Structure 1
Amino acid sequence: MARQLRMDLVGFTVLAIVSGLGGGMLRDTLLQQGFPVALTNPAYLTSALAGAVIAYLMVFGHRWTMRALFLADCLSVGCWAATGTVKALGAGLAWPPAILLGVVTAVGGGMIRDIAVGRLPAIFGGNTLYATSALLSSGLMALLAGLGHETAGMAGAIVLSAVVSVAARRFG
């Protein structure tokens, strides 16, 4: 998106930080259990900055790179949805708000990014169903975590997110 909007390195960096860390920061702010982890663990900001530099220096226009990035995005939606759900459950929330915070964790950063550049958030349309896959993944995570199977919940959420998003893109 930053390249399409002809942004400089600062623009790439701001969009990388907002889209990569915004959902988790929003979740942590809503949970009110200390500072957002993205501000206390330097690995989060370092990863976002590295992503910004890589995106700025490389052109991802080839068909295979676009497919690889899409698949990575689908997998990460499931991972972040499950992570947000587990963190909310660990904070003592019941499963409905925990699922909501799982979805916010997964897609909140992208929403903030889209609003920042003046676009309708992509989760409100299109053919990737990221919000739907985040919702389903968060629900699966809440169910399996409640049964004591957090590892299976994480794996299942990641796979479910990828299957739903790839199928939506392929058939939708």
Structure 2
Amino acid sequence: MPHVDPEILALYQVFDLIGVVLNGIIGGTIARQRNFDFIGFLFLALFSALGGGMLRDTLIQAGTPAAIADPIYLTLAFGGAVIALAVHFQGKTWEIFKVHGDAVILGVWAVTGCVKALSAGLPWLSAIFMGVITAVGGGMIRDICTGEVPGIFGGGPLYAVPAVLSSVSMVLFHAADLEAVGMVISPLVGIGLAVLSYWKGWVLPAPTNWAPVNMTAAQLAAALKRAEKRGHRQGRHEARREHNREQAKKNPE
């Protein structure tokens, strides 16, 4: 990426690798909860840690996915699974650590995916999509493999939305030719929102009963029915008046 300090790139690399280990541990912890065997630990850790990046690289078609080309990624993902196999992570302390650590990685991975897409010449909307896929793709695959509804589909703290905002922020900084600034600030946007949503309990509303087209159609039908009733009443009133006038003509005083 042009105009980016090598120290920033090195920091991203560090967080990227930390994220692989952390998500490997998360995948392994879920495997423990599901009573998976050692193979289950390994594969769930692999999907959790590397799934998003592999999806991104496959869709961009910019060569062999980094998770396969560089053995350090597979090694760290499997290492995370082994750690989760050896240590039973549970309790409030683990949950808080997991949420905050995952929030940091979420912001970093979203920007990483967005930058890689922009560097490949993809348009801004595709870059945002690639940022989100990078950040949440692994967790989505992990949830599907365990028979769960992916967490990004709602019901819990905001997850996909922070990734979207980080990606949008990076696209805007890229458009302003401020890539280095964007790579510092954009992750913080997603990190902040993800952490706040956890502590504040923010969730997106589920629009199960909200359908503007149906509501508008129903309101229009009700309005037409009311107008029809008013028309009938007015018609009957006019008919009575006309009848009274006819009677008055037939029976003058």
Determine the structure 1 residue equivalent to 2:136: 107
Provide the alpha-carbon RMSD of the alignment.
1.3
Determine the structure 1 residue equivalent to 2:32: 3
For each residue in 1:3-32, what CA deviation from the matched residue of structure 2 results, as whole angstroms up to 9, or x when unmatched?
A: 210112211111111011111111111111
Q: Does 1:148 align with 2:170?
A: no
- Structure 2 counterparts to residues 157-168 of structure 1, below 5 A: 157-168=186-197
Q: Does 1:130 align with 2:176?
A: no
CA distance in 2, matches of 1:150, 1:43: 27
**SS state at 2:32 partner:** coil
**SS state at 1:15 partner:** helix
Give the letter for the 1:129 counterpart.
L
- Structure 2 counterparts to residues 37-116 of structure 1, below 5 A: 37-116=66-145
Q: TM-score, normalised by structure 1?
A: 0.94
Deviating more after overlay: 132-141 vs 152-161: 152-161
**SS state at 2:155 partner:** coil
Q: Does 1:12 align with 2:17?
A: no
CA distance in 2, matches of 1:123, 1:110: 8
CA distance in 1, matches of 2:72, 2:177: 28
Q: TM-score, normalised by structure 2?
A: 0.65
Shift >3 Å, 4+ stretches? none
CA distance in 1, matches of 2:142, 2:98: 18
Larger Rg: 2
Cα drift, residue 142 of structure 1: 1.3
**Larger RCO (alpha carbons 8 Å, 6+ apart):** 1
User: Structure 2: where are the runs of 5+ without partners?
Assistant: 1-29, 202-253
Give the letter for the 1:63 counterpart.
K
Q: 1:102–1:134: 8 Å Cα contact kept in structure 2? A: yes
For each residue in 1:57-104, what CA deviation from the matched residue of structure 2 results, as whole angstroms up to 9, or x when unmatched?
A: 112213222211110101101111000000000000111100001000
For each residue in 1:138-160, what CA deviation from the matched residue of structure 2 results, as whole angstroms up to 9, or x when unmatched?
A: 11111112323333222223222
Q: 1:127–1:168: 8 Å Cα contact kept in structure 2? A: no
How many residues are treated as equivalent by the alignment?
172
User: Structure 1: where are the runs of 5+ without partners?
Assistant: none
Aligned mate of 2:56, from 27, 34, 47? 27
